[in-house]
A and B are shown apart, each in its own frame.
Chain A
Amino acid sequence: MKRIVDNKHPLAIRWFHWINFPVLSLMIWSGLLIYWAYDPYKITVGGYTLLSFFPDGFYKALGVPFRLAQGMSWHFAFMWLFTLNGILYVAYTFISGEWRYLLPKRNSFREAWQVILHDLGIRKAPLPVEKYNAAQRIAYSSIIVMGLGSLLTGLAIYKPTQLWWLTTLLGGYEMARLIHFALTIGYVLFFIIHIAQVVKAGWNNFRSMVAGFDVVDEKA
């Protein structure tokens, strides 16, 4: 017997979530146009470049080169929306009490391992039933901290003279830019795992993020 559970995801949270998707995409895209103009970051191990951010072919495939001015225009327009949406989301979760489902609990860090083992198919025992499991709580809270990090490091490199104290606090101009970049890579990794989990969780879960309601199977 199926039963509709209303308001699994409140309307406000669905709006914040789906507004963030195109806004963050645009911030990452415009950020890439900016980063191209000075792209020194790479991961090296013992003098050997493991991964360079980014290879020429990657830039060319995405049409990135020589669009710094355009990237800056978009980045400095949509930073407002990114910030506002983030602030409203955090304010809403606190006012509505949704934070109770989202913040990690004392035992979340231990439980998160069990979730990972479960998701990888290593641990067969079912997980405790919760709106968000331990790994989700950590992930969804981290992403907010990361968002705040992007905002602060972004401000630090946007106005390094007016906000010199912030830039200094974050380790200087170059460090702030590096952190700003690393956080973006973090969003991309988050996105990949997030999509994989959504696919794995199935249609019902995805629908609840659009329609709000959940459908549960109940044994009669």
Chain B
Amino acid sequence: MQMDTEQTPHMPEREALTTEQQIRRRTLKAFAWFGLASLLPVGIWKALTAKPIEQGVPKALRSILNANEGLANVFFSNQHLAPTFAVSKATKQVGINGMEGLRGAVDPATWQLQINQPGKSLTLTMADIKALPKYDLVFDFKCVEGWSQVQHWAGARLADLVAKYDLGTRTGQKPTDEADFYKHLGMETPDKGYYVGLDVASALHPQTLLAYEMNGEAITAPHGAPLRLLIPVKYGVKNLKRIGSITFADERPRDYWAERGYDYYLGL
């Protein structure tokens, strides 16, 4: 700084002016950049809300949800179990949220479970299901809405059913590797009014039950009699009531709530 040297008597003024100018210039420049940078979130918003809409969710956003699913699959393990509770902790007032797919009545005596996969189909009765080992499951059922409830169910493991009847593999034989299985499994109610799609790993999780008892008694109609799905690795909406059919496939089976803007995977 030379502001008080005698050779430059006007410098103090000029120096002050220069600082002011500098401040002005740098401020303007910074705010111009700031304005420009704030177009970034606008652009991201536009990209994420851009058409086409894929089953109720913009395509870009849907692809992020699918990427999340891919990541979840990496960490998914049959060793990761939902915490279980003593039977005494289970509620007696089990919540009933959805009645989709439960139109009309179903007679448990004549009810049948239809199982399909390419080149193979099978019809099972309630007696066939009950012939499988029975498991109790007391766990914290979680609704996609956010509430949860400790509930007590009992039934057969879906994995046991699949193993007993050599289901779900592309070869139609016993699996030699996990990759032998079709990627997905779809379930539908008999009237096809409600349907869910599951990844096969979640379906074969050891806590995934085909349940026929609730609180030690036969499941009642509003809770999905005679047979319903209980799948603690998913939100409640995937726990289809009154199973009519199970279909194995590589492409994703249709899913009632995924068609209405929800994530397809909904894994917990």
Partners in one complex: yes
**A69, A72, A168, A213: the one within 8 Å of B83 (CB):** A168
Contact A68 B27 (CB under 8 A): no
Closest beta carbon of chain B to A43's beta carbon, Å = 19
Q: Cβ of B146 and Cβ of A77 under 8 Å apart? A: no
Q: Give the shortest distance, in Å, between A30 (CB) and chain B (any CB).
A: 11
Partner of A162, one of B48, B65, B75: B75
Asked whether B20 lies within 8 Å of A2 as measured between CB atoms, the reply is yes
Cβ A212 vs Cβ B30 within 8 A: yes
Contact with A along B224-253 (1 / 0, CB 8 A): 000000001100000000000000000000
Given A4-B19, A161-B233: A173 in contact with B148 (beta carbons within 8 A): yes
In the complex, A149 has a CB within 8 A of chain B: no
Contact A73 B65 (CB under 8 A): yes
Known contacts being A1-B16, A68-B145, A210-B34, is A160 close to B262, with CB within 8 Å? Answer: no
**CB of A64 within 8 A of chain B?**
no
Give complex CA distance A177, B257 in Å: 23
Interface: B185 (CB within 8 A): no
Query: Is the beta-carbon distance between A161 and B82 smaller than 8 angstroms?
Result: yes
Contact of A159 with B by CB under 8 A: yes
A35 to B142, CA, bound (A): 14
Q: Which of B61, B143, B260 is in CB contact (< 8 Å) with A38? A: B143
Would you mind naming 21 contact pairs between A and B with Cβ atoms under 8 Å apart? A1-B19, A4-B22, A4-B23, A18-B34, A38-B143, A40-B147, A69-B262, A69-B263, A73-B57, A73-B62, A160-B142, A160-B268, A161-B232, A164-B80, A164-B81, A173-B142, A174-B148, A207-B27, A210-B30, A211-B27, A211-B29
- Chain A residues lying within 8 Å of B147, measured Cβ to Cβ, are 38, 40
Closest chain A CB from B27 CB (angstroms): 6
Residue of B nearest to A3 (CB): B19
Is B23 touching A159 in the complex (CB atoms < 8 A)? no
A70 at the interface (CB under 8 A from B): yes
Q: Is the CB of A77 within 8 A of B19?
A: no
Interface assignment of B68: CB less than 8 Å from any CB of chain A: yes
B77 lies within 8 A of chain A by Cβ: yes
Residues of A within 8 A of B267 (CB): 159, 162
Asked whether, in the complex, the Cβ of B31 is within 8 Å of the Cβ of A70, the reply is no
Interface readout for B102-126 with A: 1 if CB under 8 Å, 0 if not? 0000000000000000000000000
Interface contact B61-A68, CB-CB below 8 Å: no
Flag if A161 contacts B80 (CB, 8 Å).
yes
Please report the total number of B residues contacting A with Cβ < 8 Å. Answer: 46
B76 an interface residue at 8 Å Cβ cutoff?
yes
**Given A70-B261, A161-B232, does the pair A76, B83 have CB atoms closer than 8 Å?**
no
> Does A27 sit at the interface, judged by CB under 8 A?
no
**Which single residue of chain B is at the shortest CB-CB distance from A25?**
B41
In angstroms, how far is the closest chain A Cβ from the Cβ of B65?
Answer: 6
Question: Does A134 count as interface, using CB distance less than 8 angstroms?
Answer: no
Cα distance A72–B145 when bound, in Å?
A: 10
CA distance A212 to B23 in the complex (A): 11
* Given contact pairs A22-B41, A73-B57, A73-B65, A162 touches B80 in the complex (Cβ within 8 A): yes
Question: Interface 1/0s, chain A 1-35, versus B by CB < 8 A?
Answer: 11110000000000000100010000000000011
Please report which residues of chain B, range 139-179, place their CB below 8 angstroms from some CB of chain A when the two chains form the complex.
140, 142-148
Q: Is A101 an interface residue (CB 8 A)?
A: no
Residues of A with C-beta under 8 A to B9: none
Is B222 positioned at the interface, with any CB of A under 8 Å from its CB? no
Q: Are B268 and A161 in contact (CB under 8 A)?
A: yes
A164 touches B64 (CB 8 A): no
Does B37 sit within 8 A of A, measured CB to CB? Answer: yes
Cβ–Cβ contact B56 & A211, under 8 A: no
Q: A35 vs B144: C-alpha distance in the bound complex, in angstroms?
A: 11
Any chain A CB within 8 A of the CB of B72? yes
Contacts of B29 in A (CB 8 A): 211
**Are A35 and B146 also in contact (CB < 8 A) when A2-B23, A173-B140 are?**
yes
B92 interface hit (Cβ, 8 Å) = no
Nearest residue, chain A, Cβ from B29: A211
Give B27-78 interface residues, CB cut-off 8 Å to A.
Answer: 27, 29-31, 34, 37, 41, 48, 56-57, 61-62, 64-65, 68, 72, 75-77
* Complex Cα gap A128–B89 (Å): 57
Contact A207 B30, CB 8 Å, known A2-B20, A4-B22: yes
